[in-house]
Amino acid sequence: MGNTSGDDSDATPRRADESEDVTATSDAAQPQHRQSPGDADRTSTFDVQRAAADRDQAASDRDQAASDQDFVRGGDFELHEQTRALRDRGTGERRGTANLRWEAVGARDEIAQARALIAAARTQAAGLVHRELKAREAVAMAQARLAQLATAEIDVATDVRNPATGLRDLARELDRTDRTTGRMAVVYVDMLGGPPPVVDAAEWAMRQIRGRLRSYDLIVRVGEGRLLCAMPDATIDVARERFDTIRTTLSGEDRRCMIRARCVAVQPGETATELLRSPHG
């Protein structure tokens, strides 16, 4: 009898509140994950379904324990088998709901991946906007620089004169040439551009030209991207040779800036205004 009493004690089904306490403790021990607002409704539905399935499983386990205990004590075998069949069917249904829950998990993973792609696209778009703003700032600075060059008598960075100042200084040099050797070569230079920013490339080219001419040679801006270089007491051959060297230096391996230079010899009696408006330019 002692052994029978011990078996009955082991087979006593667990109380419902004990099972639910264990379930609640197990759920509380799970790590907490932050949810986005878009997942709130789906997560709530999933939690309700999971809680219902857990309660159903707990009830089935208690029923199984009670049936087994009844059968051990001499209960009806056929009834026991019938209830077992019902319990097996319930188990199959719970597996079906478990599969649905796994599919829901997979769907949420796909949504998370899609959101990650959207976030990456937004980051890339932000980078493009930043580069566009930088480009606009560069254009604004270039325009301000062009405005400064247009109004300054002499650009201190390149020693290039604006048309008004250049006309005055060129007239002075023509007067001096007429009184001395009577020789002057004029070179019309067109800036053909280069890699962006073009304004920087053109300014760099003007500094290179200034550095390879004599200190008293004049450089006058006669239009956008166009210069007039006056070389007193120089022949046209000397001017061509000098600008061939300058053209090679400017183009270089990286073709930073290209120019076209046309050399002419000043004719006796030509004025500064005629030179600035010459068809050669």
pLDDT at residue number 244: 93
Contacts of 263 (CB under 8 A, 6+ apart): 185, 186, 187, 236, 239, 240, 243
Average pLDDT, whole number, for the chain? 76
Higher pLDDT, 77 or 273: 273
Q: Which pLDDT belongs to residue 75? A: 61
What pLDDT score was predicted for residue 93?
A: 73
Higher pLDDT, 198 or 219: 219
Q: Is the pLDDT of residue 226 over 50?
A: yes
Question: What residue ranges do the domains of the chain occupy?
Answer: 2-126, 152-276
- Specify the CATH number of the domain 152-276: 3.30.70.270
**161 DSSP β-pair partners:** 154, 220
Query: Facing residues of 216 across strands?
Result: none
Tokens representing 193 are 């551009």
Does the pLDDT value for residue 22 go beyond 50?
no
What are the two backbone dihedrals, phi and then psi, of residue 65, each rounded to the nearest 5 degrees? -65, -40
Asked whether 83 and 63 are in contact (CB, 8 A), the reply is: yes
Which two three-digit tokens encode residue 190? 């067109």
Closest CA to 232 of 181, 184, 267, 165: 184
pLDDT in tens, 126-182: 999 988 888 888 888 877 766 666 666 777 667 888 888 899 999 999 999 999 988
Neighbours of 32 (CB within 10 A): 6
- 33-42, 56-65, 149-158: which range is least confident on average? 33-42
- Strand ranges (DSSP E) for 180-244? 184-191, 218-223, 226-232
Of 50-59, 71-80, 259-268, the one with minimum mean pLDDT is: 71-80
Is the pLDDT higher at 57 or at 221?
A: 221
Please compute the mean of the pLDDT values over residues 234-251 and round it to a whole number.
Answer: 91
Per-residue pLDDT at 11 exceeds 50:
no
Residue 14 has pLDDT above 70, yes or no: no
> What percentage of the chain has pLDDT greater than the value 90?
26
pLDDT at 201: 73
Q: Which pLDDT score is estimated for 205?
A: 84
The more confidently predicted of residues 13 and 155 is 155
Per-residue pLDDT at 36 exceeds 80 = no
Q: Is the pLDDT of residue 68 over 80?
A: no
pTM of the model: 0.46
Give the pLDDT score at 216: 92
User: Could you give the CA distance from residue 152 to residue 180 in angstroms, rounded to a whole number?
Assistant: 31
Give pLDDT, residue 25.
43
CA angle 63, 68, 69 (to 5 degrees): 100
82-116 residue pLDDT tens: 677 777 777 777 777 777 878 888 888 899 999 99
